[in-house]
């Protein structure tokens, strides 16, 4: 969806994805005069209303406002502005730029009411007027703010900057309100390198960590200034993280862009972003030894890559002194083994609150399903989403799950806590949003709900009035965004939820590829069968939920399956899995006979008994027999069923079985190269049968055609190549709406390079 019917850029989104702030050209009524180039807007995605937050107050000199940032709770906005919005403390002199913060109307504030943040130390609360024109950063609750400014505490600092951290709950004239970030050198540089100082601050949502870029040795107890590669050239900057409450200067600041041996990355690092709890930090570096991969061959000016560092190796949710940081390359080709890095620069990472999703901009053609030309602004590119846990990349600039051919003119992504909403600015908004876009660069909000599954369960036969065994049913998240459940409910009180052992109630995020469990027990109040609805749900804006049916019966139990559930893994559609065997045990005090073998549920036909040593044979008390199940998926995604085995007298037991189906489509082209203006023949197989596919070739919105697969999932199609198609290595992409996609390379020979047979000069006269 479009965010606001105005031209804009540099968006920031609240943690729940509801509120978006961005900078844009002011909307000037006809006949009015407004010489500003940029003001700040707020869009409420629930109501669709867009409001200007920085109107020029009457009697004040106008000025631009840039780089807004919204707090995670959606209540506070900070911006860097030229306007002296606090006339008592801001003298509107010098460079004029200062940081202001506002509480938004839906949280008790008022439009146009701003508080000065950037004050000069020891001045009693007077404005600095020397703030760097760069984004500030806010904690989730909006009580902490960090920003970049001139390092005026250094003698003859020149253009060197540093970072101040401001506690907005402390009075503005209190000297304890603001302090310099740890890692700032106390003296000016005295070497042969050009230094920029400290900048690019980002606060963790919990306000406990601040990551930043620095060309000082900021992790040392007494920081100095770092060297560079060449005398007279720039010093090499790295990414660091400051644990704000840590008093020990030897451990308070940690080098993030470090090689496995702990030394700084030779190529330096920049563009940090940090997760809500500070355990994960994404950044950009051109160094080729931070993580193992096949990198492009280069000696200097190597393409930048996007990395993420996990600082919670013991997975306790905290950054401890014993945690060993692990660096992972994110700008890497899907399914490459060994990993193949991007061949052109990637930049601007934006991380989700749980650290499991990272959106970033790339110019690397080998990372994209569609190779886009190098057009747009210098920081533009295609927009990709990395699922950290799954090691998977997907293209964000799509509509309803389908890739839309657009030029790579997207930039400045920001991601909500769950990763469900990504906002960015784009010059191709008209192609992505043909019904709502205006001309010019515009803010786009891309939303993707998680694909959740919760299987039906049957707890079998249980003694009336006696609490049965505890069962676990799992909510599986197949992504791409996270799921943060806050409640688990059951409509039938005979089924009890154990809150202490149900991980779906641990107030933690379930990332793409992850799961949480609900612990259930059954105490039947009467003989016979009963059932209820189990629901696991989020709360707040854009909340989702998933439900299933839980059943059981009161009676005399006789059977037990071991194990009580099975996941048969990831299997190619149409291919059988390896057989899973389980034991069936007689828990009664008398012999019994198993006479009923059923598989029920939504995908029952995809599971079958392939071994059965229990059928119609007596089973003595405490004795066991074995049964085998095989899974053959007919479609992609999560597939579940319920295995139910029963005795001649009606006692039964059940087992949940599941698996994941995946298509492995293949696309082939009949030639290695094609002339612009000609056709190429493409064919493919292993797609969903009888399904419409989109064939994409080219950069324009109309450069796609459709084809329908046959009953075997195969297709063949002629693809026209536009007469004006640019030359070089290109990619044809064939995809289904369910996400099955494959591609194949082809070289396009442009018109100017074609030898026109029969014309003079080409050997015929």
| Domain coordinates in residue numbering, the chain | 296-448, 452-662, 666-753
Which is higher by pLDDT, 739 or 582? 582
Output Rg (C-alpha) for the chain, integer angstroms.
30
- H/E stretch holding 430: helix 429-432
CATH topology identical between 452-662 and 666-753: yes
Average pLDDT over residues 521-538: 94
Average pLDDT over residues 657-665: 89
The percent of residues in the chain predicted with pLDDT above 70, rounded, is 92
What pLDDT shows up at residue 429? 74
Q: Which of 188-192, 195-199, 369-373 has the highest mean pLDDT?
A: 195-199
Q: What global pTM score does this model have?
A: 0.82
| Plot region of 512 (φ>0 → left; ψ -120 to 50 → alpha; else → beta) | beta
What pLDDT shows up at residue 38? 94
CATH for the 666-753 domain, from 2.40.440.10, 1.20.140.10, 2.60.40.1930, 1.10.240.10? 2.60.40.1930
What pLDDT shows up at residue 353? 93
The CATH fold assigned to 452-662 is Immunoglobulin-like (2.60.40)
Of the candidate ranges 72-76, 362-366, 694-698, the one whose mean pLDDT is the lowest: 694-698
pLDDT tens per residue across span 13-37: 999 999 999 999 998 887 788 889 9
Is pLDDT of 435 > 70? no
Look at the block and give the residue holding tokens 């533009």: 380
Using CB atoms within 10 A of its CB, is residue 445 exposed (0-12), middle (13-18) or buried (19+)? buried
pLDDT tens per residue across span 301-336: 899 999 999 998 888 788 887 888 999 999 998 878
The dihedrals phi and psi of 587, each to the nearest 5 degrees, come to: -100, 5
Cα four-point dihedral sign 283, 196, 38, 93: positive
SS (H, E, C) 637-682: EEEEEEEEEEECCCCEEEEEEEEEEECCCEEEECCCEEECCCEEEE
pLDDT tens per residue across span 246-303: 999 999 999 999 999 999 999 999 999 999 999 999 999 999 999 999 999 988 889 9
The dihedrals phi and psi of 2, each to the nearest 5 degrees, come to: -80, 145
Of 730, 687, 727, 731, nearest in space to 710 by CA = 687
pLDDT tens per residue across span 121-174: 888 889 988 899 999 999 999 999 999 999 988 888 788 999 999 999 999 989
Which is higher by pLDDT, 405 or 600? 600
What pLDDT shows up at residue 455? 86
Which is higher by pLDDT, 483 or 558? 483
What pLDDT shows up at residue 536? 97
pLDDT tens per residue across span 752-764: 655 544 444 444 3
How many other CB atoms are there within 10 angstroms of residue 591's CB atom?
12
What pLDDT shows up at residue 436? 53
Which is higher by pLDDT, 399 or 7? 7
């Amino acid at each position: 969806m479009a965010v606001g019917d105005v031209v804009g850029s540099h968006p920031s989104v609240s943690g729940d994805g509801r509120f978006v702030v961005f900078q844009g050209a002011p909307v000037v009524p006809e006949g009015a005069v407004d010489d500003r180039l940029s003001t700040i807007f707020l869009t409420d995605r629930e109501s669709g209303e867009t409001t200007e937050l920085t109107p020029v107050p009457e009697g004040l000199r106008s000025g631009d406002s840039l780089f807004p940032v919204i707090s995670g709770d959606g209540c506070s906005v900070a911006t860097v502005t030229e306007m002296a919005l606090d006339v008592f403390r801001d003298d509107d002199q010098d460079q004029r730029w200062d940081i202001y913060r506002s509480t938004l109307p839906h949280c008790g504030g008022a439009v146009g009411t701003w508080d000065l943040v950037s004050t000069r130390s020891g001045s009693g609360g007077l404005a600095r007027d020397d703030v760097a024109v760069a984004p500030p950063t806010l904690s989730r609750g909006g009580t902490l703010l960090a920003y970049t400014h001139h390092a005026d505490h250094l003698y003859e600092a020149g253009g060197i900057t540093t970072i101040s951290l401001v506690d907005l709950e402390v009075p503005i004239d209190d000297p304890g309100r603001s302090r310099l970030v740890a890692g700032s050198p106390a003296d000016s540089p005295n070497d042969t390198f050009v230094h920029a100082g400290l900048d690019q601050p980002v606060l963790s949502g919990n306000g406990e960590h601040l990551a930043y870029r620095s060309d000082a040795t900021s992790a040392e107890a007494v920081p100095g200034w770092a060297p560079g590669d060449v005398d007279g050239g720039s010093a090499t900057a790295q990414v660091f993280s400051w644990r704000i409450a840590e008093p020990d200067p030897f451990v308070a600041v940690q080098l993030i862009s470090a090689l496995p041996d702990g030394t700084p990355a030779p190529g330096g690092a920049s563009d940090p972003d940090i997760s809500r709890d500070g355990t994960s930090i994404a950044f950009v570096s051109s160094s080729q030894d931070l993580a193992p991969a096949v990198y492009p061959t280069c000696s200097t000016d190597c393409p930048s890559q996007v990395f993420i560092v996990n600082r919670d190796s013991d997975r306790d949710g905290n950054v401890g002194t014993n945690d060993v940081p692990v660096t992972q390359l994110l700008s890497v080709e899907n399914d490459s083994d060994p990993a193949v890095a991007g061949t052109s620069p990637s930049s601007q990472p934006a991380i989700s609150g749980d650290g499991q999703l990272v959106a970033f901009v790339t110019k690397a053609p080998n990372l994209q399903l569609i190779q886009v030309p190098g057009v747009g602004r210098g920081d533009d590119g295609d927009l990709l989403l990395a699922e950290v846990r799954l090691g998977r990349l997907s293209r964000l600039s799509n509509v309803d799950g389908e890739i839309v051919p657009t030029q790579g003119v997207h930039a400045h992504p920001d991601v909500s806590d769950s990763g469900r909403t990504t906002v960015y600015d784009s010059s191709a908004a008209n192609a992505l949003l043909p019904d709502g876009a205006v001309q010019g660069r515009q803010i786009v909000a891309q939303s993707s709900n998680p694909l959740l599954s919760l299987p039906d369960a049957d707890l079998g036969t249980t003694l009336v009035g006696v609490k049965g065994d505890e069962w676990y049913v799992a909510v599986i998240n197949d992504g791409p965004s996270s799921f943060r459940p806050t409640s688990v409910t059951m409509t039938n009180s005979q089924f009890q939820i154990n809150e202490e052992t149900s991980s779906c109630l641990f107030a933690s995020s379930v990332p793409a590829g992850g799961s949480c469990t609900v612990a259930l027990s059954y105490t039947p109040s009467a003989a016979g069968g009963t059932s209820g609805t189990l629901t696991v749900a989020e709360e707040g804006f854009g909340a989702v939920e998933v439900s299933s049916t839980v059943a059981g019966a009161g009676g005399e139990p006789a059977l037990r399956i071991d194990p009580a559930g099975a996941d048969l893994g990831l299997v190619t559609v149409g291919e059988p899995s390896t057989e899973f065997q389980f034991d069936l045990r007689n828990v009664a005090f008398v012999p019994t006979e198993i006479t009923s073998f059923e598989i029920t549920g939504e995908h029952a036909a995809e599971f079958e008994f392939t071994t059965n040593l229990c059928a119609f044979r007596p089973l003595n008390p405490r004795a066991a027999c074995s049964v085998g199940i095989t899974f053959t998926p007919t479609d992609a995604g999560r597939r579940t069923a319920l295995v139910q085995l029963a005795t001649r007298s009606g006692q039964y037991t059940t087992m949940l079985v599941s698996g994941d189906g995946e298509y492995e489509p293949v696309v082939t082209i009949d030639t290695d190269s094609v002339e612009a203006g000609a056709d190429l023949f493409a064919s493919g197989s292993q797609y969903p049968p009888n399904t419409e596919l989109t064939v994409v070739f080219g950069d324009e919105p109309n450069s796609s055609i459709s084809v329908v697969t046959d009953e075997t999932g195969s297709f063949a199609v002629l693809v026209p190549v536009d007469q004006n198609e640019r030359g070089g290595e290109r990619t044809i992409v064939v995809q289904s709406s369910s996400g099955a996609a494959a591609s194949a390379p082809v070289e396009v020979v442009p018109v100017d390079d074609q030898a026109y047979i029969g014309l003079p000069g080409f050997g015929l006269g």
